[in-house]
Amino acid sequence: MLYRIFLCFVFILFFSNCTTSDFKNNRINTYSDNNFSNRGFTLVYSDNLYNEKIVNKKLDERDLIIFQKNLKKNSLVKITNILNNKSLIVKVGDNSYYPSFNNSVISKRISNELNLNPEEPYVEIVEILDNSSFVAKKAKIFDEEKVVANKVPVNDINISDLNNKKIVKKKVITKNFLYFIKVADFYYNETALMMLERIKAETKIKKPKIKKISSEKYRVYLGPFDNINSLQNSYNDINILGFENIEIIKND
């Protein structure tokens, strides 16, 4: 009898230690999909960013290539301007350093094609999995888009009118700035509550929240934020916990 009690105690202790260790490494009961996706603010590349060492790799302004630290080089992704629903198929370039607040670095060509608002460059990046003919089709689309991109100049469109030149400016649809930070999704509410306590104990953030998405999906989030400075500050605060896929979600 005492032997059985001893074995049960050892089992519980072992399980508890494993759970604590996994939680600290951000692996316990996190809810995840098969392919990588992330919503956040992209960074439009310029040589100034490289010269100031904000980005450590160069991008040609005509490239249909992005830097994305979570994905392997040459991965195909769909990048979408969430504010107007325009999208492109692009490839992931070399592994590059860039600010953790940004979910990617893109070329000027991609920014123009997506008609991004420079004040709110909010995009979604979705990995295209390498498991079907769908990839081959999208790779063909990528190559076709790249050919078009190389033929079309990057500069603004000028319309000559005898004596005058007018610049046609693209209209940008603006909405109220209101965002949340999705820290992580969990299968169990108890695990989400544990994460709330960890955030309070290990960061400057004192009011993290939980939202029940479904019966098996509980989201730990921060916000809302009505300006980019407070959003970025909180993002940087939560980023010290080392999560690989913190997302920024717009309140529609």
Return mean pLDDT, the chain: 80
Residues 138 and 75 in one domain: yes
Q: What is the domain-level CATH number for residue 234? A: 3.30.70.1070
Query: What confidence score (pLDDT) does residue 160 get?
Result: 36
Query: What confidence score (pLDDT) does residue 129 get?
Result: 86
Q: What is the domain-level CATH number for residue 105? A: 2.40.40.10
Residue 20: pLDDT band with limits 50, 70, 90: very low
Which tens digit of pLDDT belongs to each residue from 140-197?
445 555 554 454 444 443 333 434 444 444 444 456 899 999 999 999 999 999 999 9
Which tens digit of pLDDT belongs to each residue from 95-144?
999 999 999 999 999 999 999 999 999 999 999 987 544 444 554 445 55
Judged by phi (left if over 0) then psi (alpha if -120 to 50, else beta), residue 11 lies in alpha
In a domain, 41, yes or no: yes
Three-class secondary structure of residue 186 per DSSP? strand
Tokens standing for 26? 């951000």
Which tens digit of pLDDT belongs to each residue from 71-99?
999 999 999 999 999 999 999 999 999 99
Residues 121 and 50 in one domain: yes
Last residue of a domain, one of 99, 121, 156: 156
Judged by phi (left if over 0) then psi (alpha if -120 to 50, else beta), residue 30 lies in beta
CA distances from 61 to 48, 91, 151 (A): 13, 14, 13
Residues 51 and 124 in one domain: yes
Query: What confidence score (pLDDT) does residue 34 get?
Result: 73
> Would you call the peptide bond into 224 cis, given omega within 30 degrees of 0 as the criterion?
yes
Last residue of a domain, one of 93, 124, 156: 156
CB 241 within 8 A of CB 203: yes
Query: What confidence score (pLDDT) does residue 227 get?
Result: 94
Which tens digit of pLDDT belongs to each residue from 52-76?
999 999 999 999 999 999 999 999 9
How many domains in the chain?
2
Residues 131 and 85 in one domain: yes
Query: What confidence score (pLDDT) does residue 131 get?
Result: 55
Residues 97 and 185 in one domain: no
Query: What confidence score (pLDDT) does residue 38 get?
Result: 96
Query: What confidence score (pLDDT) does residue 147 get?
Result: 53
DSSP H or E run through 247: strand 247-250
C-alpha count within 13 angstroms, C-beta hemisphere, residue 178: 5
Residues 150 and 183 in one domain: no
Last residue of a domain, one of 156, 190, 221: 156
Range of the domain at 139: 37-156
Residues 152 and 244 in one domain: no
Which tens digit of pLDDT belongs to each residue from 210-237?
999 999 999 999 999 999 999 999 999 9
Percentage of residues of the chain with pLDDT beyond 90: 64
